[in-house]
A and B are shown apart, each in its own frame.
Chain A
Amino acid sequence: MSSYFKLAWRNIWRNKRRTIITTASVLFALLFALIMRSMQLGTYRKMTDNLVQVYTGYIQIHKTGYWDDRDINNSFDASESLMRFVETTPNISDVVPRLEYFALASSGRQTKGVALIGIDPVREDHFTHLTKWLSEGSFLKEDDIGVMVAAKLSRYLQLQVGDTLVLLGQGYHGISAAGKFPVRGILNFPAPDMNNQMVYMNLSACRDFFSAGENVTSLAINLVDPDKIDETIAALSSNSLTRNLEVMKWDKMLVEVVQYIKADNASGIIFLAILYLVIAFGVFGTVVMMTAERRREFGIMVAVGMQKHRLALVTIIEIMIVGLLGIISGILVSLPILSWYFHHPIALTGEYAATVENYGIEPLMCFAFQPDFYITQAAVVTMIVLAATLYPVISILRMNVIKSIRSKI
């Protein structure tokens, strides 16, 4: 076997330039594919991380049917036993209770619809780092009866820290809701829709406002190890305490993001398919020409006594070596590049950065650095190269020895 390798290896270097160029083409395609997939997968990860960790949480518990109909009447009582159960379920790092609903805010002459959300300030900040967005005033304290208002909203209502915000709405079971609340702080969010409508209040004050007893509309949950999410959901759902509740995974809550990722992912894969197809043709072309050129030589080798299938094997080894050289060099070149960018994501700038921030995502180009897409890409290229070997193998096996010796080359 080793003599086949020796023969194959020397044969490759007979036409040094062609070998190098073919290897380079595989390297190029693989390198580009790895970088592109790394960027795509890294970006998706960042997108979902930003939205999941900083807003929805990996899992949310609601009353069954709440997500499709986010009415205050679909809130539920987060009893102590439920809370204790959730908090002690393995893999859970944070749980925050929230009571969210629509209300009308008024200050003097302006009125506007707002999203009112009752939170536990300390836990919420730990979960979403809400204090990060505080631009004026101070963050809500426990038992505070004040509110924090989003920046653009506060400008519209012409409110400053210390002013009074009037809230009107329709509470639990249709009970009218009305109240006055001092503005404690202003939060400046990058996403305009949040900046336009969010009003934060203490959970207890919010419950009072909506006459909602001890209810919450959702429990948002963050995990220690996101990869074990399905097990955690199973654990949460299997308890009688959650019988009338829905334990929802983040991908059902961020459906549009998930769809966007699916679509972008698909387009990325299609592009790679085109790229690989092009390279495949290149490799195939080289192989065809090489076979044609060596027709006479092959004929002579079989004539002097080499078995056809052994000759075919040598050819396969030749082509595989060239392919593998390309793959290995492509992987080696990519390692330092991707590793660097994995640890140092590229900061986006300008208009593009602003657009991304509008969706609530950090303006960073993140790179993924994990074995799975490496293995996939390397496997695909290997398949292509292997497929290319079919041609010379078939050609050799079907070769007419005498005709080959007589051929013009």
Chain B
Amino acid sequence: MFWSIAWKNVWRNKLRSLLVIMAIALGVAAASYSAALMFGMATQKIKAAVSNEVSHIQLHQADFLENFEIRDSIPQPDQVGAGIAGIPGVKAVTERSVITGMTMSATSSAGIQINAINPDLEKKVTTIYTKISDSSGSYLAVGKRNQVLVSSKIAEKLKVRVKSKIILRFQSADGTIIDGAYKICGIYKTSNGIFDEMNIFINRDDLSRQLGKEAPVHEIAVLLSNNDYLEKVTGTIKKENPALSVLTWKQLQPELGMLTGLLTISLYFLLGIILAALAFGIVNTMLMVVLERVRELGMLMAVGMNKRNLFKMIMLETIFLSLTGGIVGMVISIAVTGITAHSGIDLSSFARGFESMGYDAFIYPELRPDFFIGTVVLVIFTGILSSVYPARMALKINPADAVRGE
């Protein structure tokens, strides 16, 4: 019953209430939208990493990731791959040979990681084939010999272009140094400069030919239809392949795994600071409210409203005030997010710095329901905390003094 009184009381002094509500709305909207931007950035980074670099799950021979030795390959990779493909939730599987080596052009050389792949399978798992611009050639094609796909960073370093020839050099299992001449079929560019610097792609068939036998498979990458399947599918794969190392993207790139968590914590912290700043204004306002209504409150206590009810009434009024501001703020941030989510926000002037950290220069803000709810909870909490002091002031009112007519 106090709910309706509290609500109506909020609107008694429209000017004052509107000022506080606008302040809260502004603070919440700004914080909320910033959060949306940062979440958008994080999601994109993760999506990019999963689609271009690590996929959802990767399998290796148990020692492989230590030293990337060519002989630490996965036994019976096709069987393993087929077994995984059947698991519900798995969208696609691909197999790769991964070798560290060197690449040389006429003018310079660079250390790189050679990824020997099956282009058709690979296209289903990673989206690197989409990262080739129209003027930069094309992806590896099955059937064409000795093609190599390099990144724009490597191409710059080696000073080569599409159709240029480069030498790939690596050491086979028995120690022999093997050189191969390859022609650049395309140049790719992802948003992660670090990845680009190290990775080139060739056809596994070409590698097999160079080795004189079937190229060993060092890495099986799995793409899921939805990240929600991650834990379950990983568990299943581990059970069926106890001897292999099975790692999720969170384990392969731990910084990325922690990213969302860290971000959420710091965003809540910042939101907390803003709400604390707002709390001052709310307390001030409610104090004014209580002091103005001393006689009315005295009257209520005289006719039989007990202290708990009085406290409740004031607390409810404070909460309504805060919540109204909070909701208006969130509506604003939803609206702005909606508008900017389509086109994205362009940060190309900071682009280089971002790309070196693996972020895209275009941000698409993203609202997260759990953060949203967290914001609402925090706003209510702020209202509750802010109501304590004014409510205590109200309780101190002596009805006799208050109603003594003047």
Closest chain-B Cβ to A107's Cβ sits at a distance in Å of 10
Does B352 reach chain A (CB closer than 8 Å)? yes
Does A224 reach chain B (CB closer than 8 Å)? no
Closest to A103 in B: B109
Does A132 reach chain B (CB closer than 8 Å)? no
- In the bound complex, residues from chain B placing their C-beta under 8 Å from that of A156 are 67
**Residue from A114, A260, A278, A284 whose CB has the most chain B CB atoms within 10 Å:** A278
- In the bound complex, residues from chain B placing their C-beta under 8 Å from that of A90 are none
* Pairwise interchain contact B16-A282, C-beta atoms closer than 8 A: no
* Pairwise interchain contact A277-B287, C-beta atoms closer than 8 A: no
* Pairwise interchain contact B353-A263, C-beta atoms closer than 8 A: yes
* Whole-angstrom CA separation of A278 from B343 in the bound complex: 29
* Whole-angstrom CA separation of A265 from B245 in the bound complex: 41
Does A110 reach chain B (CB closer than 8 Å)? yes
* Pairwise interchain contact B19-A284, C-beta atoms closer than 8 A: yes
* Pairwise interchain contact B350-A279, C-beta atoms closer than 8 A: no
* Pairwise interchain contact A259-B23, C-beta atoms closer than 8 A: no
* Pairwise interchain contact A259-B356, C-beta atoms closer than 8 A: yes
* Pairwise interchain contact B281-A110, C-beta atoms closer than 8 A: no
Closest chain-A Cβ to B41's Cβ sits at a distance in Å of 11
* Whole-angstrom CA separation of A85 from B377 in the bound complex: 66
The stretch that binds A, out of B99-107, B119-127, B305-313, is: B99-107
Does B130 reach chain A (CB closer than 8 Å)? no
Which residues 262-294 of A have a CB within 8 angstroms of B?
262-263, 266, 270-271, 274-275, 277-279, 281-282, 284-286, 288-289, 292
* Pairwise interchain contact B111-A24, C-beta atoms closer than 8 A: no
Does B255 reach chain A (CB closer than 8 Å)? yes
* Pairwise interchain contact A29-B177, C-beta atoms closer than 8 A: no
Q: Give the total of B residues in contact with A, Cβ under 8 Å.
A: 53
Partner of B281, one of A256, A262, A271, A281: A281
* Pairwise interchain contact B34-A28, C-beta atoms closer than 8 A: no
Does A141 reach chain B (CB closer than 8 Å)? no
Does B27 reach chain A (CB closer than 8 Å)? yes
Residues of B at the A interface (CB closer than 8 Å) are 15-16, 19-20, 22-23, 26-27, 30-31, 34, 67, 69, 100-102, 104, 107-112, 159, 169-171, 174-175, 177, 254-255, 258, 270, 273-274, 276-278, 280-281, 283-285, 287-288, 347, 350, 352-354, 356-357
The 7 lowest CB-CB distance pairs between A and B, nearest first, are A259-B353, A113-B111, A25-B280, A281-B23, A282-B281, A256-B356, A285-B19
Residues of A at the B interface (CB closer than 8 Å) are 17-18, 21-22, 24-25, 28-29, 32, 69, 71, 102, 104, 106, 108-114, 155-156, 169-170, 197, 255-260, 262-263, 266, 270-271, 274-275, 277-279, 281-282, 284-286, 288-289, 292, 351, 355
Can you list 14 contacts pairing A with B, beta carbon distance less than 8 Å? Answer: A21-B283, A21-B284, A24-B280, A69-B159, A104-B102, A111-B177, A255-B352, A255-B353, A274-B274, A277-B30, A278-B27, A281-B23, A282-B280, A285-B20
